[in-house]
Amino acid sequence: MSRMIFVNLPVSDLRRSIDFFTQLGFTFDPRFTDERATCLVVNDQAYVMLLVNDFFGSFHDRQVADTTTHAEVLLCVSAESRTDVDDLVDRALELGAAPSTWKEDQGFMYGRSFEDLDGHIWEVMYLDPSALERQ
């Protein structure tokens, strides 16, 4: 059975987050978008719900993590090439994201990361498919 995944992230300014991720090439599902939330489409099986902080907090009774001091999740998206990794991360940094410390370069596997406008850590990873075939 194939399962869809919906990751929920709190954001401080929804419009600013939508603009940021749109400029990175992501799209949004308007059926799940209003003034409190939007649905960022990663692919047809993976989505990230960006929820304003108060709305995010209404789904549970825990404090929303302070991303300046805590990491509540590490998100990793695939890339089609090493160049694609660099292009996406560099573009995010140009748009106001903060550099993150994680980097990976094992030849067959290459990745970098950034912190989005709300401090959520996004890893971008390329894995050479021929390396998997040799395993």
Q: What is the pLDDT of residue 101?
A: 86
Arithmetic mean of pLDDT over the chain = 93
38 contacts: CB under 8 Å, gap ≥ 6: 14, 17, 18, 28, 29, 32, 49, 50
The verdict on pTM exceeding 0.85 is yes
pLDDT band of 3, cuts 50, 70, 90: confident
Q: What is the pLDDT of residue 134?
A: 64
pLDDT in tens, 59-100: 999 888 899 999 888 999 999 999 999 999 999 999 999 999
Judge whether residue 9 has pLDDT over 80: yes
Q: What is the pLDDT of residue 71?
A: 87
**5-31 b/e (C-beta count within 10 Å ≥ 16 → b):** eeeebbbeebeebbebbeebeeebeee
Classify domain 67-135 at the CATH superfamily level.
Answer: 2,3-Dihydroxybiphenyl 1,2-Dioxygenase, domain 1 (3.10.180.10)
State mean pLDDT over 23-49.
97
CATH architecture type of domain 1-59: Roll (3.10)
pLDDT band of 135, cuts 50, 70, 90: low
Q: What is the pLDDT of residue 78?
A: 94
- Domains of the chain, by residue range, sit at 1-59, 67-135
